[in-house]
Structure 1
């Protein structure tokens, strides 16, 4: 045993306690202590049964991922689990908090499991590009049946204690983990030798015997091919549980796990896992603490305003949604109601919960209706004069509130100057649809106070979002880089590519949708209006709009759409328009390979990311990765644009940008100074110096 694992006796029951705060992760010392404790009680005649429990707020919540990528330390988790399952004394897992990953795999190997209400159990490895590697795919189907096991492993979603009891994952729901587990263990000890999970085959018998049942399971649960390696591996491991002897299934699962663990995709997922946690860290003066707003207001009831108000109510924070237009306010309120009603219809929310959230939502048509709010999020139209007028008026209505703007592009320093208290102004850039998208860019303005910055980050996390602190510039981080990609789409179309070529290359790379289909979905006229307001022009996109091709809403954009369908179909009219435009502008067209298209779209984005880093708009390259994966659909298994570039090697990136610049004659394609310096040093963006985005 170790300092992290203790064992005491409650008469004839040995109680093994894991105490490795904060989440009792299965580091090597914990594994060694647990294995020693199990071994120690085997030959003790005074011990009739064993309970495994955890101190603190949770059962084991998973592996210690800091050990990944390092030489394995004995004992390995499969060896510990084998020792638990082969115990001659019945072993009861006492679950509370969360039992996730390796923690649930330990519980699965125990002979019985009890849980307190509110416990959540799951195998989330798929979210790190992995599969369970210590028997989870082999034991779970034996307890809950293949259908539930496929769902849990392939989604990574946990289930609650009540569902676990109904499905057979736990034997009882108890009020107190330790005392009830000890009593339960004492009872089962009187019934003879323990029954191992591996020997329970009744729930997998049908799927094991019938290939058509297995095929139906795969068809029902396996996601479509999208470049991820973990889902097919999970399916293979789960099918092995149904078709192979137990030990062969374990070996198959372990081989698949090790291959994934040592592969590029899981490394990318682990990079993002660490990056998301690092992104919320702030360099703040000592003693600065975030406020905890008890009431919020949202100004604007359009798509974003209604979505942000929904986020507050979902988080249990009373919110007032204000719009000067009664019609807009009614539409926004109905949108929120329909969102929750849809969740009720799908069984994702109870009617009582919907009623509770509706009770948290108030509405008004005057700015004065935000009085009493401790945080106000402005989500009005993207016009500077409108936003400045709103902020100037808020000075007298909510003199102590945190004032946030949801602008996507505008200068927040300029907005802040409309108030007499710019230190209380911050950007909260939500992404659409706000209730779904996890990312929030927290934009630190020039005079934002440390307390307000801390409050904004804390509030975003309370709303269930992933906050990333960025500085002020046009488009901040995400949209600034997106604008570069949009420009490159235009250049490629003029130079010889077609919309289906561009979208095919990026979906092949791993994006769920290509940029042309995304433009059609959102409406090409939105960017068109913005360009006209700025005196800018995009030749292909503007000509499409001028021809009435505004996207899906008109049935024609970059692609054509059949009535009632969202499937983009190549359109010869678009090809003719593009070719004619190239000829009119004197641009010689050529063919581009998919790899060339990926480089021409993404390497200039990486180049812009390097400029963003050198300007201190982002604190670290990994922050840019978090933004692009969570807000713009960059494939997570590639780690984000800056991580992807590091994997390519910055010398290669520098040379390809140099070649692209030579072909296009475009000065912005020349490698950014930071990229050149890092490439010369043989370093990556992860090694870039940090100018830092700190509070004032």
Structure 2
């Protein structure tokens, strides 16, 4: 079947596009649109409609063509053919019109859309900018400020909002073809002109002084050194200051710069990595899954409450279990508070909040869990307590119920051993705040059944999480790698750096937060309590924790106590440096026999990131992660690793494994081999001149 078909319906030429699954702008589709518009100029039609078959309008460029030699007609040629049509062309949108798809719609003379449709220019999420006139046409219709927000955020907007922004001319409530035909006939009856967006001019005097410079500053705080967002501002500025064709030329130049950049390569890597992570080696695609129509959460603390919200948001009833009514009431109150925050931000309506809360039922009795399909334990990290809970669940829950633990580092097999059905036990490691963070580590025990694993991966999609399968080992993927990262942060601190220097280096590089600020946010007492349960011989080198423990002993627990590595304003939570912390650092350096020195920003960056990479290589050797890109997904979505760096393993490939290997060898010579022995896999790949991506390809 042809990807583009044409028929006359009365006076209207209907161009139907059909390139499943999402009508991506492949060469065949571009060629078909170009030819249909051209041929229609000589037939009996008086107006044209561009309509897509399937579930969506053109959802964007064909990403599989990136990096390949271009084939004519280019998207810009297709758009030019549409725009220069002598007959009005109407885009009829359903599903999503995104990226190049929306640029095609903007080139049409008129646009209508189903009320359920969404439109947007999400290229920035791949480190790109619209390259076919999106930055030039959107501000001409929506205004400069609105266009800047739309394009730099990249988030699709609903049809009604697009109509209010003048990006859509008419919203259709039911039958798209019927509504589009009626709209096109109206245009014919009133002899409507071919309204080309390119012909609209923006008066530079209408732009508030400082709009672009102010927006750039605000953007930098949000995007931490990303190239594409700043280039988008330049393009929109060109739409104001330059003639249309010159603005297009500027957009194309900057699009190509973004396309060839390491940042876009990294973001495209993450795009594909997220999709690859859902594929489980050795697990057939037709593996059956278990029905999950009801869920129980053990523990109504911050984590348990957040997990409960995920299921309620997906319309799945939840039973929230606590040891007593007071604890349960506290937990339910936190959930209510979180929903109120979402309500105030406009993320849900009052009716939606009420519905979600109605799906969460509190209980203090395990007997109420006899019919649930899934139980997730979310109590604090104590193996004996977890085993006690799982023994109760084993006796209480129906056969076939999945028993999951939210542990962040404990042995899944030990927990499963407390039951008579270890095949039903799995780890579901959510990240805090669980109702916000996108990552879900699915941890496979040695006896976890295939259908339990398949169900967990499917369930992640239901609750809008990105799942990554991890093997059973201390800390799994993410927290295992966090250990050497945190270790190097502490060692840099005691050897000569300050909390501010370390955090500034990492945040300027792109991390969502520096390690010290992250510790303050999570609470310094969490690690402290873990260490209190360990023998001195199990705690490791005191230099890696003595400063944190000293701060806790002073009552400096982090943000929740108003002080940790930093002092926090009680009203705004704004942080500031505290000289008292530097005194603590210097005192403990002297006690540990450490002579503090000046540490460069580059050393801090390399020690922290290369520690992640080296541990990631060991995780691959141990089979804890299926592929290097899975590790990247974990760190981007769970630990604030900058997406435009592509995750630690992609970052290592991008700078060269030989460079990483040589630096680790140098750190070994300087600091000792206990912490800085290159992983065998890293050594092998570096010496062979290969990458982690090469290794992953050979493992398939």
TM-score w.r.t. length of structure 1: 0.95
User: Do the aligned residues in 1 keep the contact of 2:278 with 2:467 (CA within 8 Å)?
Assistant: yes
- 2:366 matched residue in structure 1: 367
The 8 Å contact of residues 470 and 477 in structure 1, kept in 2 or not, is answered as yes
Q: Following the alignment from structure 1 to structure 2, what is the Cα–Cα distance between the partners of residues 57 and 75?
A: 25
Greater shift in the superposed pair: 76-85 or 550-559: 550-559
Q: Which residue of 1 aligns with 2:91?
A: 93
Show structure 1 runs of 4+ deviating over 4 A: 689-693
User: Given the superposition, is the C-alpha separation of residues 79 and 592 from structure 1 closer, same or farther in structure 2, using an over 3 Å criterion?
Assistant: same
CA distance, structure 1, for counterparts of residue 243 and residue 695 of structure 2? 51
Q: Distance in 1 between matches of 2:274 and 2:446?
A: 24
Counterpart secondary structure, 2:575? coil
* CA apart distance, 1:664: 0.6
Whether the 8 Å contact between 2:628 and 2:696 is mirrored in structure 1 is no
Count, aligned residues = 688
Specify the SS of the correspondent of 1:534. Answer: coil
Flag the 1:342–1:604 CA change in 2: closer, same or farther, 3 A.
closer
**1:38-62 Cα deviation digits (max 9, x unpaired):** 1111122x11111111111000111
Counting only pairs closer than 5 Å after superposition, residues 636-647 of structure 1 correspond to structure 2 as: 636-647=643-654
Q: Taking structure 1 as reference, are residues 76 and 662 closer, same or farther at Cα in structure 2, changes over 3 Å only? A: same
2:162 counterpart of 1:164: yes
Q: Structure 1 stretch 192-201 or stretch 114-123: which is displaced more?
A: 192-201
Aligned match of 1:349: 348
**Alignment partner for residue 239 of structure 2, among 241, 244, 261?**
241
Residue in structure 2 matched with residue 495 of structure 1 by the alignment: 495
> Following the alignment from structure 1 to structure 2, what is the Cα–Cα distance between the partners of residues 416 and 90?
66
Q: Structure 2 unaligned runs (5+)?
A: none
Question: Does structure 1 residue 682 correspond to structure 2 residue 680?
Answer: no
Match of 1:550 in 2: 557
Write the distance in 2 (CA, Å) between the matches of 1:376 and 1:653.
Answer: 43
Q: What SS class does the counterpart of residue 427 from structure 1 fall into?
A: strand
> SS at the partner of 2:347?
coil
Indicate if the aligned counterparts of 1:151 and 1:221 stay in contact, CA closer than 8 A: no
The aligned counterpart of 1:658 is 665
Where do residues 105-120 of structure 1 align in structure 2 (5 Å cutoff)?
105-120=103-118
CA, structure 1 residues 530+692, in 2 after alignment: closer, same or farther (shift >3 Å)?
farther
Q: Which residue of 2 aligns with 1:84?
A: 82
Matches within 5 A, 1:484-523: 484-523=484-523
Question: C-alpha offsets along residues 395-421 of structure 1, whole Å, 9 cap, x if unaligned?
Answer: 232222111110001000111111111
CA distance in 2, matches of 1:325, 1:251: 67
CA root-mean-square deviation: 1.9
Distance 1:229 1:220 in 2: 13
Following the alignment from structure 2 to structure 1, what is the Cα–Cα distance between the partners of residues 321 and 481? 32
Deviation at 1:435, TM superposition (A): 1.0
1:366-515 correspondence to structure 2 within 5 Å: 366-399=365-398, 400-515=400-515
- Assess if the C-alpha contact under 8 Å between 1:424 and 1:448 holds in 2: yes
Indicate conservation of the 8 Å contact 1:105/1:136, yes or no.
Answer: yes
CA deviations over 1:644-669 (Å, ceiling 9, x no partner): 11111111111110010111113231
Does the 8 A contact of 2:274 with 2:630 survive in 1? yes
8 Å CA contact 1:618–1:692 kept in 2: the answer is no
1:291 maps onto 2:298 in alignment: no
Number of the residue aligned with 2:302: 303
Partner of 2:129: 131
Aligned to 1:560: 567
Match of 2:209, SS state, is helix
Q: Which residue of the other structure, out of 618, 641, 663, is the alignment partner of 1:634?
A: 641
* 8 Å contact kept, 2:224–2:509: no
Contact residue 387 and residue 418 of structure 2 kept, 8 A: yes
Which residue in 2 is equivalent to 1:212?
A: 209
Question: Please, which moves more after superposition, 125-134 or 586-595?
Answer: 586-595
Offset at residue 635 of structure 1 (A): 0.7
1:227 pairs with 216, 222, 225, which one? 225
Q: Do 2:83 and 2:107's aligned partners in 1 also have CA atoms closer than 8 Å? A: yes
CA distance in 2: counterparts of 1:525 and 1:511, whole angstroms = 23
Distance in structure 1 (CA, Å) of the matches to 2:492 and 2:157: 47
Deviation at 1:601, TM superposition (A): 1.2
Pairwise CA distance, 1:221: 6.7
Per the alignment, in what secondary structure is the counterpart of residue 667 of structure 1?
coil
- Runs of at least 5 residues in structure 1 that lack an aligned partner in the other structure: none
* Alpha-carbon distance in 2 for matches of 1:167, 1:662: 61
CA distance in 1, matches of 2:278, 2:600: 39
Aligned partners of 2:573, 2:609: CA distance in 1, in Å?
26
625, 634, 644: which is aligned to 2:632? 625
Match of 1:73 in 2: 71
Inter-CA distance 130–493: structure 2 relative to 1 (3 Å threshold): same
Question: Per the alignment, in what secondary structure is the counterpart of residue 7 of structure 2?
Answer: strand
**Offset at 1:355?**
1.2
Name the CA distance, whole Å, in 2 between partners of 1:650 and 1:360: 50
**In structure 1, C-alpha distance between the alignment counterparts of 2:683 and 2:649, rounded to whole Å:** 14
**Would you say the 8 A contact 2:92–2:113 is kept in 1?**
yes
Note closer, same or farther for the CA distance 1:629–1:618 as it changes in structure 2 (3 Å cut). Answer: same
Distance 1:73 1:67 in 2: 10
CA contact (8 A) 1:517 1:558 kept: yes
Mapped contact 1:322–1:329 kept (Cα < 8 A): yes
For residues 424-478 of structure 1, the C-alpha deviation after alignment (integer angstroms, 9 at most, x for no partner) is 1111100000111000001011111111101001111111111000101111000
2:100 paired residue among 95, 99, 102: 102
Q: Equivalent residue for 2:18?
A: 19
Q: 2:659 aligns to what SS in structure 1?
A: helix
TM-score (norm 2): 0.95
Deviation, 1:602, is: 1.4
Deviations 1:337-381, CA, capped at 9 Å, x for gaps = 112122222322211111111121111111222232111111112
| Local SS of the residue matching 1:688 | helix
State the Cα distance separating 1:509 from its structure 2 match: 1.3
Contact 1:143 1:197 in 2 (8 A): yes
Cα gap change, 1:269/1:327 in structure 2, threshold over 3 Å: closer, same or farther? same
Q: Aligned pair in 2 of structure 1 residues 187, 406: CA closer, same or farther (>3 Å)?
A: same
Instruction: Determine helix, strand or coil for the equivalent of 2:112.
Output: strand
Mean Cα deviation higher: 305-314 or 580-589: 580-589
For structure 1, which segment, 547-556 or 104-113, has the greater mean C-alpha deviation from structure 2 after superposition?
A: 547-556
